[in-house]
Amino acid sequence: MRRFSILDWSLEQRWMIFLLVLLVFYNDPFYPLTFLINSSFPSILDGVLQATFLCTLLLFWLSVYHGIRQNVRRFFPFYLPKIILVSFLWVFSVVLSSVRIGQEFRDPMYNMTIDVRQFTSFRIVFYVVGILYILYLLFLIIRAFGELRNMPYFDIRLKFTTLLMLCVVSISIVITTLRFGSGIIEENFVPELASRYKNSVEFLSFYSLINLYLYTMAYVYSPAKNAAVDSLFRDNPTFSMLNDSDEDVVYGSDHEVSRLTSN
C-alpha cells in the first residue's frame, strides 16, 4: 500500500493496517517476560492486549457496515458512538480478567466464584452492552445490504466481509461452547473467557482462527503488483457506482471506451 496515497485506500484497507499492527501484540510478543519476571504483570498485559485487539475487531465490523454506505466519516458523529459502545466491553473484560489474574497470583487457592458477586453490576452491564452491540451490528448489516445490494462492486465487498465474519463468529461460538459448555451462564464466565485456556487445542484453535482471518483479509485487500491508482477501490458509493450498471463495470462505460478509441 505504500505505493499509493492513503486518500486512495478503501475503508477496509485502512483498517487492515491498524488491525495487523494490533495482531502482533495480540499474539503476545511479551510472553517471555513470564519466565523473567516474578509478577502478574505479563499475564495482565496479555489479557489487556487480547481485549484490545478483539474490541478493535468489533469496532472494525461496525465501522465497515456503516461506513461503506457513506463517504464522509467524521470522528464525533461516526466513530465516537461506536468507540463508546465497544469501550464498555473493553473496560469490563480488562477489569474482570485483571482482578482474577492478580488475585490468583497472590493466592493460588483463590476462587473467583466466591468474590465475583462483588462485580455483579459489571457483569450485567457487560451482557447488556453485548446485546446492544449485536442488535446494532445486525441493524447495520441489514441496512447495508438493503441499500447496496444492487450495486455490483459494493455488493461483492459486503458479501465477502459478511462471509468471513460469519465464519469467524460461527467457529468462535463452537469453540466457546466446547470450552465452557453449560458454564457459559456461570458468574465467572467473562473473566475465564479473557484469561484462561484449558489446553493447547483451545489456545491454538482460537489464535489460528484470528490470525488466518486477518491474513486472508490482508491478502484480499492488498492491491496487485501492477495495480494503478484508477483501479484501486473506489470508496464512494454515491458518486463512483451510483450510475454504473453491470455492463459498465464489466466492459467499461461509453466515456471510457470513447477515450480509449480517441487515444
H or E stretch at 45: helix 41-67
CA distances from 119 to 128, 196, 197 (A): 14, 19, 22
For the chain, give the number of residues. Answer: 263
Query: What CA–CA distance (Å, rounded) separates 89 from 251?
Result: 47
Query: What CA–CA distance (Å, rounded) separates 203 from 25?
Result: 16
Which pTM value belongs to this model? Answer: 0.80
Q: At which residue does the C-alpha cell 473467583 appear? A: 112
- The yes-or-no verdict on residue 17 having pLDDT over 80 is yes
- The yes-or-no verdict on residue 25 having pLDDT over 90 is yes
pLDDT of the residue at 235: 59
pLDDT of the residue at 184: 52
Domain assignments of the chain as residue spans, ordered by start:
6-235
Mean pLDDT over residues 28-45, rounded?
88
The torsion region of residue 236 among left (phi > 0), alpha (psi -120 to 50) and beta comes to beta
More confident residue, 141 or 175: 141
